[in-house]
Structure 1
Amino acid sequence: MNNKNKTIKINGLEIFYREEGQQNKETILLLHGFPSSSYMFKGLMEELSEDYHLIAPDYPGFGLSEAPTTSEFEYTFDNVSAIIEEFIATLKLGPFYLLVQDYGGPIGFRIASKKPELIKGLIIQNANAYMEGLGEWAKKIEQFQKNNDLEGLNNFKGYLMSLEGLKEQHLGGSSTPENIDPSYYLMDNAFLNRTGAKEIQTAMFYNYGTNFSKYSEWQDYFKTHQPNTLIVWGENDPFFNKSGGDAYGKDIKNIQSYFFNGGHFLLDEYAVEVAEKIQKFIKN
């Protein structure tokens, strides 16, 4: 079995990625969320590595990838998506199954709607493409922005990137928080405490609003191309609640949806169960 931690040069940047499984198997590309890295998929990749070829990159400025300063690289969802698109082309990936969580949604959906021929199916875990499903925290961010309350927004952003905030993101909404490996939130915290990391995350955080105008484009992709889709969703997520997962069924006909008694980082708690759903989804 292939088990590698690798780096590759993409548009002049060193991009770190995890690769497991064998290249002659079905490929799953896994795109992580905020403020995490490919480490969030560690347990899931271990569960699936015997039967699939798994690739999980860290975005520029995240995890173990190169992190140019905000003056050296413009951290936007468009630019990060362009890096991942080039990453896919350089590794000659495709067609593949695309698994997205949180930020992975707007990054992955940009690529899927532009190059639908790459996508064999979608696996969506707590990543929105509809206005339905904005949870308590997402609405709070929206309200700060609507009221131009920069102090409130900055304070909330600071909390989300603190160790206490990271623990709440990983443990909040989970059914058995005592069973979640602390290394998940401690790893996020370690990456965030590197020089310049919080400035990078702040730039991406403030750019998130550019995704809403893309929703209709992604929904058109769903309607037109009808990708086979698996929804696996932590229904206690304060960012994206259950109706965000349900909304995909408005446009996608061939869809399987499973909601778990878990939070935003569902895989911390349910990697085995989600792996079983993925196995069934791909084999059918």
Structure 2
Amino acid sequence: MKNRIFYRTVAINGLDIFYREAGRKDQPTLLLLHGFPSSSHMFRDLIRELSDSFHLVAPDYPGFGQSSAPDVKEFNYTFENLSIIIERFIDELQLNNIILYMQDYGGPVGMRIAVRRPGLFRALVIQNANAYAEGLGSLLQPLTQYAQQPDGENEKAVRFFLSLDATKWQYLHGAGDPATVNPDSYITDQYYLDRPGNDTIQLALFRDYQHNYPKYSEWQQYFRTSLPDTLVLWGKNDAMFIAAGAEAYRKDLPGAEIVQIDGGHCLLEEHHQYVAELIHRFIYDRKTSNAL
């Protein structure tokens, strides 16, 4: 029986952090960290699929979705600061027995927390989130150039990533069957991106993204030291975070289960049922050191 989804808000460091929650708290907690250009909305179907067997929590970062979006002069939008807010969110909700699900931006947010507190997460689910240079597609080059030289010309180039055409492309490019992708998804994301002042928030994070690359070695050391049980799910047609990024996890996590799926960057739009089945099996059926 599927459980109801609740829509809640909690105050963290003076910010209202919105989150979706479902399932019983005595079940394993699946903490869902979203990517760009989305919010916890990207997990709506997965939450519904897994609400009978997991406690699911999906927050919106500051500047995304329904969470507070202070001006860049009031809040320093870096991945380090996003990770601090989410870590305090975890503590405020007293979450434990956590399986960490990271997609896109969720990677640099979640991995910073994992490195600071390696005992916090019992397992990882990684979906199109990079921790290796092999996963960086050539389409990310404009963002790299902008981060290194944030002048007017490079800013104009990356502002395309804030447009409806780009948001729609992220959802449809590489999709196994684009007709299964609900247009409400990219229209909802675009609504939030188009809010006054949100462009400066996103540009700040674009500029900060370069600071994730030097962290890769720290994250890889965490993998080798902690050996977290890991399920890697990848939309193999993703042109930004390419399929080689998934296979690279084997270097430091030889026991990781890696599944390449016929989809793109926004894999859950098409394959939430399959992903739910994989996660359920990974936690409940697979013999791991952290098995129930």
TM-score w.r.t. structure 2 length?
0.94
- 5 Å-filtered alignment, 1:12-31, equals 12-31=14-33
C-alpha displacement of 1:141:
3.0
Report if aligned partners of 1:105, 1:129 keep a CA contact under 8 Å in 2: yes
- 5 Å-filtered alignment, 1:125-204, equals 125-143=127-145, 148=149, 150-204=151-205
Counterpart of 1:218 in structure 2 is 219
Counterpart of 2:74 in structure 1 is 72
Change (3 A) 1:160 1:13: same
- 5 Å-filtered alignment, 1:1-284, equals 1-143=3-145, 148=149, 150-283=151-284, 284=286
Give the distance between the partners of 1:220 and 1:145, measured in 2 at CA.
26
Report if aligned partners of 2:147, 2:209 keep a CA contact under 8 Å in 1: no
Give the distance between the partners of 1:139 and 1:249, measured in 2 at CA.
25
Give the distance between the partners of 1:49 and 1:100, measured in 2 at CA.
18
Give the distance between the partners of 2:23 and 2:191, measured in 1 at CA.
28
Give the distance between the partners of 1:198 and 1:26, measured in 2 at CA.
36
> Which residues of structure 1 form unaligned runs of 5+?
none
Change (3 A) 1:198 1:140: closer
C-alpha displacement of 1:2:
4.4
Report if aligned partners of 2:150, 2:207 keep a CA contact under 8 Å in 1: no
The CA deviation string for residues 49-75 of structure 1, in whole angstroms up to 9 with x for no partner, is: 111000000001110001110000000
Give the distance between the partners of 2:68 and 2:150, measured in 1 at CA.
32
C-alpha displacement of 1:142:
3.0
Give SS of 1:121's match: strand
TM-score w.r.t. structure 1 length?
0.96
Report if aligned partners of 1:95, 1:117 keep a CA contact under 8 Å in 2: no
CA RMSD of the aligned region, Å?
Answer: 1.3
Counterpart of 2:290 in structure 1 is none
Matched to 2:21, the amino acid is: E
Matched to 1:204, the amino acid is: L
Change (3 A) 1:215 1:271: same
C-alpha displacement of 1:156:
3.2
C-alpha displacement of 1:208:
0.4
Matched to 1:56, the amino acid is: A
Give the distance between the partners of 1:268 and 1:94, measured in 2 at CA.
28
Give SS of 2:135's match: coil
Percent identity, aligned pairs only?
A: 47
Change (3 A) 1:201 1:141: closer
Report if aligned partners of 1:138, 1:238 keep a CA contact under 8 Å in 2: no
Matched to 2:233, the amino acid is: V
Give the distance between the partners of 2:199 and 2:146, measured in 1 at CA.
20
Matched to 1:218, the amino acid is: W
> Which residues of structure 2 form unaligned runs of 5+?
287-292
